[in-house]
Chains A and B, each alone.
Chain A
Amino acid sequence: MASVRDRNASAWLLPAGPGGNHALRNDMRHFEDDDEVDIVIIGCGAGGSTLLQRLARAGWRAVALDAGPFWDPEKDWVSDEAGSHHLYWTEPRVISGKDPVPLGSNNSGRGVGGSMVHYAGYTPRFHPSDFQTLSQDGVGADWPLAYHELKPFYEDIEGELPVAGERWPWGDPHSYPHRPHPVSGNGELFLRGALATGITAKVGPVAISNGRFGNRPHCIYRGFCLQGCKVNAKASPLITHIPDAMDHGAEVRPDSMVTRVAVDDATGRATGVHYFRHGQERFQRASMVAVAGYSIETPRLLLNSVSKHFPDGLCNNFDQVGRYLMVQGAPQTAGRFESEVRMWKAPPPEVSSEQFYETDPTKPYKRGFSIQTVSPLPITWAEHVTAQGHWGAGLRKYMSDYVHWACLGALCEFLPLAGNRVTLSGEKDRRGMPVANFSYSQCENDGQLMTAAQSAMEKILHAAGADEVITIQRYAHLVGGARMASGERSGVVDADCRSFAVPNLLITDGSVLPTQGSANPALTIMALTARAAEKLIARTPQRSR
């Protein structure tokens, strides 16, 4: 394995101290709409940025379009909850189904860096069993790909973010490039409660460098990871992959919302993308297109891209687009301690346990859940309190006790169901593009996992000394919606993220995941994309550049 700097020099291209590298941005290459670029990538998040960096390194003429801004963390981000509203995807979306899933701040980002700009920063791997849940446990789906095929890419990305944590005993046991961070009161209580109940909990894995890494500064434990890390300590593609991509001649074009992928009626090949920039409708020509807009926007874009070959939406000849969308059930249980916890200090991601990740044959449900520290800031904490039915005087009184609470969150592996999907609603956005309607309904297994996870967290918190506990039902991490499969009747792309329907169209984001485990998805999205990029480069004849 080449040293990190030899394969991705982003951390060394950043200025020492906080801030972006404005020189790189000023000198960035620009392509014309009429240039037929080697590839146009839609979305500059976890998947899109990784692909851009890998292809630019291989000499491809690549441009990535993102609907949101090219952030300057010093100026654009604030150390404040309400002031971070612009980090989220807040264009209209409709939610429906038996268990509708609220979106916005809780689920998706915009702009260069994508949702990882405001993700918490947990970066666990999936377990080997995640790739075969159907054959092993009779639920979910089998991937057209095995864990060991992804493993080298996990290792690469863990080096590039980089990831800090204790040696990991679960799934395929492994260690991390950076040592674990010190923990705050919240992490301390999780470790104490876990020890007392015989549950194994470990510090990490978080994509926050611990120690020297290029020019990236050390974490200052300010706790605003979900508001964008102004310090540049927490990894997001904006600092881990975009600088190296630009340095290798890639263009990042912000404020560019793609509304349709164009397909040649004669050949059935993609020819480029229609997009809006500064109010004008434009068309970028490209010999290959990659869609990486997140699990809601990717299906929405495909469904909106109708043509002679694809009257029901691009790649949708077998009615697969938008289906099998998943969220993780993410109940959060908080415990009340006589001590002051002040859980907002330090990064919310600190300690986790994957002890309940796998199917337990003694339980009535299949698959499992993980448990992690979460540390809601005041506005989010008020949501916990109002969810208990409190308001008015009761709410104020409850909130005044904030310093005494510690909070854990679980991630429950909800199963992929065909009916959980994105469709186009009758409502339109300001450009006239139909907005996504995202419908979600849980199955019985899902509900059982939520209950089991809640009682495990209650047990841990009580064992740590909590006198009271409260739980809020939430959801996290959308994946799926254009899943990979062994054939076109059961999915949209193959193991290399190539669409079955269009020879020169890739999908490289969270939408390709067939199952989700109870791991946070960003690392897996990046690893899958790095693998897809390697395959793509290997099978593409040398480009003329």
Chain B
Amino acid sequence: MTALPLQPASGGGRFPGFSTASQARHWDEATAAVVIARLGLPQDLRYFTPVEEAAARALFDQLLDQREDPRVPIVNMVDARLAEDQTDGWHYDGMKPDGESWRASLSALDEDAFSRHGVSFCQVHWDAQTAILTNIQDAAQWHEFSGAHIWSLWTRYACTAFYSHPAAWDEIGFAGPAYPRGYKNLGLDSREPFEVADVRPQQDPLRPQFAPGAEEED
């Protein structure tokens, strides 16, 4: 996969030419098998119905700001986890097990979209989708859910999938698997020969000119 599309103002291109996957020959077999599989054809969907899939795609595009291809195939990765019941091993009292909560929350998203815009969530305009989600993040109660609890479920699954992908590692400069080679250069501003320095170290996300927030357009 080539680099994920991300504008420089949004943090794209800070590590030019950096590729964790280019180091795959240095990884142990077990690790390479797991990581390289993520670069191949994603698994077919088994868990989500087509209607749920459409809502989930739109939701994940929003949560991870994936507006165009190439994308990390989040929907396939989450679907595989749910099909295999690979949960985090806990759920909030009063909330259903993860798989059922996913189904119920995706259909609740469609309900919101229908009642506000007369179409399903995936057909709503990008900014209107963002507005629907912003409401949920701040809601004490959203349909049958606590806003915070459903938000936690969505972002946990989405981020676990996205930041397990080598293309996402390249974007953030993370060096990926390190066995059996290990790291030799510890300490501030030290890099391994294959690591790439950040070309925009001033791009602190908390400084006003780079203030974060999904609502802002780049």
Interface residues of A (CB under 8 A from B): 18, 74-83, 85, 88-96, 100, 102-105, 108, 182-185, 188-189, 220-224, 230-231, 336-342, 344-346, 377-379, 381-383, 386, 389-404, 425, 437, 439, 467-468, 470
Contact = CB atoms under 8 A, between A and B. Distances in A.
Contact of B11 (A96, A223, A399): A399
Given A393-B216, A402-B172, A222 B178 contact: yes
Contacts of A393: 10, 65, 212-214, 216, 218
Nearest to B130: A392
Contact of B191 (A220, A340, A382, A391): A340
B93 A231 contact: no
A176 B189 CA distance: 31
B201 A340 contact: yes
A257 to B, nearest CB: 15
A64 to B, nearest CB: 22
Contacts of A398: 11, 205, 212
Contact of B171 (A18, A185, A399, A470): A399
A85 B156 CA distance: 13
21 contacts: A18-B180, A80-B177, A82-B161, A83-B31, A93-B91, A95-B93, A183-B187, A185-B187, A189-B188, A220-B182, A221-B186, A222-B178, A230-B180, A346-B183, A346-B186, A378-B172, A382-B155, A391-B62, A391-B137, A393-B218, A403-B173
A401 B188 contact: no
A475 B62 CA distance: 29
Nearest to B94: A96
Contacts of A220: 178-183
B199 to A, nearest CB: 11
A224 B27 CA distance: 13
Contacts of A345: 175, 183, 185-186
Nearest to B165: A82
Interface in B168-215: 168-169, 171-191, 195, 197-198, 201-206, 210, 212-214
A80 to B, nearest CB: 6
B89 interface: yes
Given A78-B177, A90-B89, A392 B204 contact: no
Nearest to B174: A378
B159 A386 contact: yes
Given A379-B159, A382-B159, A400 B172 contact: yes
Contacts, number: 248
B28 interface: yes
Nearest to A81: B164
Interface string B96-119: 010000000000000000000000
B141 interface: no
B88 A104 contact: yes
B63 interface: yes
A92 B97 contact: yes
Contact of A85 (B14, B86, B163): B86
Contacts of A108: 89
A400 B89 contact: no
B41 interface: no
For chain B, which range describes its interface: under 10, 10 to 19, 20 to 34, or 35 or more residues? 35 or more
Contacts of B135: none
Contacts of A105: 88-89
A270 to B, nearest CB: 29
B82 interface: no
Given A79-B27, A393-B216, A340 B204 contact: no
Given A90-B86, A104-B89, A338 B34 contact: no
B195 to A, nearest CB: 8
B30 interface: yes
Nearest to B162: A382
A470 B62 CA distance: 24
B189 A82 contact: no
Contacts of A88: 88-89
Contacts of B177: 78-80, 224
A292 to B, nearest CB: 19
Contacts of B187: 183-185, 188
A338 B188 CA distance: 10
A94 to B, nearest CB: 5
Contacts of B87: 90, 92, 104
Contact of B88 (A78, A102, A182, A230): A102
B91 to A, nearest CB: 6
B6 interface: yes
Contacts of B97: 92
Contacts of A189: 188
